[in-house]
Chain A
Amino acid sequence: MSYFKVIAAIVKKDILMEVRTKQVINAALVFAVLFVVVFSFTMEIGSNMEQKLSGGIFWVSVAFAGILSFNKTIGSETDNGSFEALMLAPVDKSAVFFGKVISNMLFLFLVEVILIPLFLVFYNVNIIGHPLMAVVIILSTYAYSLIGTLFSIISVRTSSKEIMMPVLFLPFMVPVIIAAVLATNVFILGGQIQFSYNWIKLTAVFDIIFTAIIYGIFSLIIED
């Protein structure tokens, strides 16, 4: 069976399950929206701080929503041991992994799509003010999902996954968070667009390097 068909089968299954239960979206979305609302209390009204802070609030809330949703999606694989059955199937193990990455990425996109109008309503900030922002969102969300899926597979096997997941995930994602926030700020604050190029490149390099490494060694770290 071809590599991409395996990915497609996993994604299709995950979407079907999510449509049924809505557990990932519910958990992640409620959290992200709460984050955005509660954060507004830290800002002085009418001080224009919203403009400067929105990029940061957006990407940090997506990061935390991600931590929740990655743990949920991996939970559906480990509840009845189905992850083992996937590893037993006559398919490339890393294809199963990238299938989960794509599923997680789609769920995070959904969270982002709902958060963006919220920023417009609450903070009067248009996150997606420039077409290049789409590139930032795609590259950064992929980075979140790639590393998040990997670390969720690891932390689900530890005795306390709720602690392990953020401890592994957040420091590792520092470059991506910095890049995403500062690139977003360029667009929100109306700086010169070329200031965002370096950040986009940095995220792209991050994506390429870690996709290649994980593709190369996934089967080595997952086998018993």
Chain B
Amino acid sequence: MENNSLQQTPLISLKQAVKRYGYMQALKKVDLDIYSGTSVTIFGPNGAGKSTLLKVLSMQCRLSSGELLYNGTPYKKISDDFRHKFGVISHQLYLYSSLSAFENLKFYGSLYGISNPEKKGEELLKQLDLYKRKDDLLRTFSRGMLQRVSIARALIHNPEIIFLDEPYTGLDSLAAQKLSTIIKQQIEENKTVIMVTHDIETGFFQADNLLIMDKGKIVYNRQKSSINIDDFRKEYMSVLGVEAAV
């Protein structure tokens, strides 16, 4: 797969990307290519710029300078419709607590203009073990159940690129297990999965590419095939220096 990807145009490509918030630089001239069908995990300590990078890649925020290309086209020339390809799962739920699980999914389904939101919604709720409670209001749900609804919400329009921002934060074991099954399944379906985490265990296994960010820069980028998790852990610490080990 790696050999192929070298020839094709990257699905997402960042060139000299800079993102400034006021006086702070969250991204400092980042270059990155992500190929279709790969799974990329971005590690790094808090404040390294991981979440900003994910927001930039998913067009949630604009670059201060530099270029962002999708299939070789600058993002400024890309229409709103392109966001159809994006699905975002984060620690933010993005749900309405006075609607039922099913109504939430139907609403987001209708915003994405999918043809049969009911059927797709039911399918996802079944897969996530929530079908029995699909008509209950979300305010009666536990945190773990809400997280599962949020996963269904992100996948309702069958996105091609899935962005995960610390998705395992605060999940109970059932939700975490469901999530990892779903991520695996998405990878098998040849979707592009981009995940940000500071948890090495969960991030490592699903990844094709391992990235480490620190202080707004990508300081490490290699294929997983050439490394095992213990070595990676050592490298993670050596790259980030002593603070990361503590």
Q: Interface code A83-97, partner B: CB below 8 Å = 1, 0 otherwise?
A: 011111111100000
- B240 on the interface (CB 8 Å rule)? no
User: Which single residue of chain A is at the shortest CB-CB distance from B19?
Assistant: A224
Interface contact A88-B96, CB-CB below 8 Å: no
- What chain A residues lie within 8 Å of B131 (beta carbons)? none
Residue count of chain B within 8 Å CB distance of chain A: 30
Which residue of the partner chain, among A6, A16, A86, contacts B99 with CB atoms under 8 Å?
A16
Which residue of the partner chain, among B60, B83, B96, B108, contacts A80 with CB atoms under 8 Å?
B96
Number of residue pairs A-B, CB distance < 8 angstroms: 74
Segment 1-29 of A: residues with Cβ below 8 Å from B: 1, 5-6, 9, 13, 16-17, 20-21
Q: Interface code B73-106, partner A: CB below 8 Å = 1, 0 otherwise?
A: 0000000111110101000111111110001000
Residue count of chain A within 8 Å CB distance of chain B: 25
- A76 on the interface (CB 8 Å rule)? yes
Segment 83-138 of B: residues with Cβ below 8 Å from A: 83-84, 86, 88, 92-99, 103, 107-108, 110-113, 137
- A44 on the interface (CB 8 Å rule)? no
Segment 48-87 of A: residues with Cβ below 8 Å from B: 76, 79-82, 84-87
A38 to B142 CA separation, bound complex (whole angstroms): 43
Q: If the complex has contacts A1-B111, A88-B58, A89-B111, are A82 and B83 also in contact, measured as CB distance less than 8 A?
A: no
- B61 on the interface (CB 8 Å rule)? yes
Q: Interface code B143-170, partner A: CB below 8 Å = 1, 0 otherwise?
A: 0000000000100000000000000000
Interface contact B97-A91, CB-CB below 8 Å: no
A13 to B105 CA separation, bound complex (whole angstroms): 11
- What chain B residues lie within 8 Å of A21 (beta carbons)? 98
Q: Interface code B34-67, partner A: CB below 8 Å = 1, 0 otherwise?
A: 0000000000000000000001001111100000
Interface contact B94-A84, CB-CB below 8 Å: yes
A5 to B110 CA separation, bound complex (whole angstroms): 9
- What chain B residues lie within 8 Å of A16 (beta carbons)? 99, 103
Query: How far, in Å, is A46 (CB) from chain B's closest CB?
Result: 47
A-B contact pairs, 27 of them (CB 8 A): A5-B110, A9-B107, A13-B96, A13-B99, A16-B103, A17-B96, A17-B99, A81-B93, A82-B94, A82-B96, A85-B88, A85-B108, A85-B153, A87-B60, A88-B58, A88-B60, A88-B83, A88-B88, A89-B83, A89-B108, A90-B80, A90-B111, A91-B80, A92-B80, A224-B55, A224-B61, A224-B62
- The 4 lowest CB-CB distance pairs between A and B, nearest first, are A224-B61, A85-B94, A81-B92, A1-B113
- What chain A residues lie within 8 Å of B55 (beta carbons)? 224
Q: If the complex has contacts A88-B83, A90-B112, are A82 and B95 also in contact, measured as CB distance less than 8 A?
A: yes
Query: How far, in Å, is A7 (CB) from chain B's closest CB?
Result: 11
Interface contact B95-A20, CB-CB below 8 Å: no
Segment 129-144 of A: residues with Cβ below 8 Å from B: none
List the interface of chain A (C-beta within 8 A of B): 1, 5-6, 9, 13, 16-17, 20-21, 76, 79-82, 84-92, 223-224
- What chain A residues lie within 8 Å of B95 (beta carbons)? 80, 82
- What chain B residues lie within 8 Å of A76 (beta carbons)? 96, 98
Interface contact A223-B111, CB-CB below 8 Å: no
- What chain B residues lie within 8 Å of A224 (beta carbons)? 55, 60-62
A20 to B113 CA separation, bound complex (whole angstroms): 25
User: Which single residue of chain A is at the shortest CB-CB distance from B103?
Assistant: A16
Q: If the complex has contacts A90-B84, A90-B112, are A84 and B97 also in contact, measured as CB distance less than 8 A?
A: no
A17 to B103 CA separation, bound complex (whole angstroms): 10
Interface centre among B97, B103, B137 (most CB of A within 10 A): B97
Which residue of the partner chain, among A17, A84, A91, contacts B60 with CB atoms under 8 Å?
A84
- What chain B residues lie within 8 Å of A1 (beta carbons)? 111-113
A160 to B61 CA separation, bound complex (whole angstroms): 25
Interface contact A9-B62, CB-CB below 8 Å: no
A85 to B61 CA separation, bound complex (whole angstroms): 13
- What chain B residues lie within 8 Å of A88 (beta carbons)? 58-60, 83, 86, 88
Query: How far, in Å, is B26 (CB) from chain A's closest CB?
Result: 11
Interface contact A9-B94, CB-CB below 8 Å: no
A88 to B57 CA separation, bound complex (whole angstroms): 12
Segment 188-237 of B: residues with Cβ below 8 Å from A: none
A80 to B153 CA separation, bound complex (whole angstroms): 13
